Structure 1
Amino acid sequence: MFKKVIDPRVSETDGAGHINNTTIPVWFESGRDQIFRVFTPSLSFQEWKCVIVKMNVEYVGQIYYGSPVTVMTWISRIGNSSFEVYEEIHQDQKLCAKGNATYVNFNFVTQKSEPIPDEIRNELKPHLLVIKD
C-alpha cells in the first residue's frame, strides 16, 4: 500500500463547511504519485506512461478542514497493459471516501497501449490489495 498525508486547505472547504466533493478525486490522484514514479521515474511528461481511463468515487463521510487526511492506495489488479487501483481517504481514523481507477500503460508516440514491463510488475506486486475472507 502507498500512503500520503494531506492537510486540507481552506480553499477546498465549501459553503456547507466540509471539503468539497470535487477535491477528493484530486487527492486520490495525489496518492498515486509513487505509482507514477514507478512507470516514469523522472516524472517527465515527455516520457509519461500512465493514462487514466476510468475512475469512480464513493463518498462515505464528510471531511473537514483542520485535520489531516491519509490517502491509502493499493494495486487491485495488474493486467497485460492496464492496472487498477483501490483507494481510501481517512480522517481521524474514519473512512471518508473510497474509489478505484483504471490506468493503461500508454505510448504517446505510437498512440497505443503497451504491455506493462516485468520490472514494473515486480515493483507493483508488493502493493497488491489482499482481501481476507
Structure 2
Amino acid sequence: MSSLTTVQVRFSETDAIGHVNNVSYFIYLEQARVDFIKSLQADREHPDLFLAVVSMTCDFIRQAFFDQVLIIETTVTDIGGKSFTLKHTMKEKQTDDTIAVGQSVVVLLDREKNKAVPLNAGWKEKLRCHQE
C-alpha cells in the first residue's frame, strides 16, 4: 500500500529557464513525507519523541513546468531499528511520466536527549503496511 500526494506546480516554483527549480522538488517531497506520516496516525502518546529527517535525495528524471499536476507516491523501502526509509516517486498526472524519484531516511528522536531511539512495535507495524 502506498500514500499519494497531489501537487500543482505554482509559477513561483519555476526558475528563469521556465522549469521547476530543483529546490521545489524537495518541498514537494517534504509534503509527501508529511502526508504519509500523518496518514499513519502513529502512536503520539510520547510527546518527547518526534521524527527527524537524516538524509534526503532526489534524482531528477524529467523537467516539470508551471501548472502541471504531479502525483507523488510514497512507499516504505526499509525499516531499521531506529529509522525507516521512504521512496517518493513523482509522476506527471496527465502523462504518467516519471519526473523525479526521491528518498528520505527518517529517525525517531528523543527531544530531550537529541538521540535516535528504537522504533516501537506500533510504528513498525504501521510502516510494514506501506512497505514495497
Assess same fold via TM > 0.5.
Answer: yes
Where in structure 1 do 4 or more consecutive aligned residues deviate above 6 Å?
39-42
SS in 2 for 1:32: helix
Paired positions, count: 126
TM-score (norm 2): 0.87
Which 5+ residue runs of structure 2 have no aligned equivalent?
A: none
SS in 2 for 1:31: helix
- % same residue: 21
Give the AA of the match of 1:68. Answer: V
Partner of 2:78: 77
SS in 2 for 1:17: coil
Partner of 2:125: 122
SS in 1 for 2:129: helix
Structure-1 separation of matches of 2:55 and 2:41:
18
Contact preservation (8 Å) 1:39, 1:50: no
Which 5+ residue runs of structure 1 have no aligned equivalent?
A: none
Structure-1 separation of matches of 2:14 and 2:81:
40
Q: CA deviation at 1:56?
A: 1.1
Q: CA deviation at 1:98?
A: 0.5
Does residue 109 (structure 1) correspond to residue 112 (structure 2)? The answer is: yes
RMSD after superposition: 1.8
Contact preservation (8 Å) 1:36, 1:50: no
TM-score (norm 1): 0.86
Instruction: Name the CA shift for 1:78/1:39 in 2 (closer, same or farther; >3 Å).
Output: farther
Alignment of 1:58-69 (within 5 A): 58-69=59-70
